Amino acid sequence: MTTTDADYGSRYAASVMNTFGPPKLVLVRGEGAHVWDVDGREYVDLLGGIAVNALGHGHPALVEAVTTQLGTLGHISNFFTSRPQVELAERLLELLGGQPGDGKVFFTNSGTEANEAAFKLTRRTGRTEIVVAEGSFHGRTMGSLALTSKEAYRTPFEPLPGDVTFVPYGDADALAAAVTDRTAAVLLEPIQGEAGVVVPPEGYLAAARAVADEHGALLWLDEVQSGMGRTGRWFAHDPAVRPDIVTVAKGLGGGFPIGACIGLGDAGTLLEPGNHGTTFGGNPVACAAALAVIRTIEEEGLLEHATVLGQKLRDGLAADPRVAEVRGEGLFVGLDLVADVSAEVAAAALRAGFIVNNATPRRIRLAPPLVLSQDDASAFLAAWPGILDEAMPDASGEQA
């Protein structure tokens, strides 16, 4: 008897908590930027596990690193350290333009945990207020949720940790008006991910750095989605704008769970023994996976590849008049449609063999593996007009 998607869907509903709704597919195998479902259908993965699978699926370098490390030393607890943990901390500081001694890293298992660590770190300044942008997403745990602006996520769990002020994203004047001498940190995504790949105006992060300095606050940049090569650079923020805290996860492990809270300069010393902890953070296998991801991005020239291929995708998507706007950098692409049909577009894309994300009613988000091929990008662009035809046959191409 053949087991189908429908069989697993009913078993999922009967045994897994209903926090995500029904799964769109039951996936069983992946290779590069392609995945296959339980019924044998093939798809081009243009979401990459939501900006996670930097090297795609089954990359030999990642498989070898995890297998070798797990066969050598799997877990040791935080009473000890390992070579991969130390080497990864040094590499992350180096990628941020620093050196050992110019910052410190706290390893976690996910992005929300990295942001929880950073949130606690800001409390060590003696201040409590955090200024955050509207449209932000920083995680689902209680502290990170308090810093996430979407009411639908927040309301069921209030009261949340307080003293959080939300301001319009990209508005430097509103930011300057909100930051005071009570502010512990300004928290921003260099490019907002869940909001639909929203890029701020030129100079916005520099203005945030200036206003934080003016009031003695920390500048905290959440690069959980935008970091680790996603934009064609290691990090989305301008290297000339030096943050105090950077949080990363998602693409860092290429699919293996790992995150990091990176404190630069004096911010790296704010958390002391007893202030925070984690059982699995800094696990040797996770750190080995992350080192393999960084090494492979360098060896395969994936930063330049993401830059070139991302431009091709943005240009091709923007050519259709039913697309009102295309944004992003590298292989972090968002677009606005002329009507509220993003769910229909995502469903039509899936039927055509492409996985995309409907971030908001009008917005589509793409965050494919950095190893996405030119051929796969071309195939998607060739299919794109037909996908829109199916999803919005009556659209005129004029702004609704």
Residue of 310, 313, 309 lying closest to 323 (CA atoms): 313
Cα 68 from chain centre: 27
249 vs 52: CA distance, rounded Å: 8
**Active site (catalytic) residues:** 137, 222, 250
* 3-state secondary structure at position 110: coil
Which residue, chain included where needed, has tokens 């202030």?
Answer: 275
| Apex 139 CA angle, 201 and 9, nearest 5 | 115
**Percentage helix, strand, coil for the chain under 3-state DSSP, each rounded to 5:** 40, 20, 45
Question: Cβ distance 269 to 275 under 8 Å?
Answer: no
Residue of 24, 19, 20 lying closest to 9 (CA atoms): 24
Residue of 124, 212, 195, 228 lying closest to 365 (CA atoms): 195
Token pair in block for residue 383:
């299919």
> Can you state the angle between helices 60-72 and 284-299, rounded to 10 degrees?
150
Question: Cβ distance 282 to 69 under 8 Å?
Answer: no
Cα–Cα distance list, 208 to 150, 169, 170, 360 (Å): 22, 11, 10, 26
The DSSP output letter for 305 is H
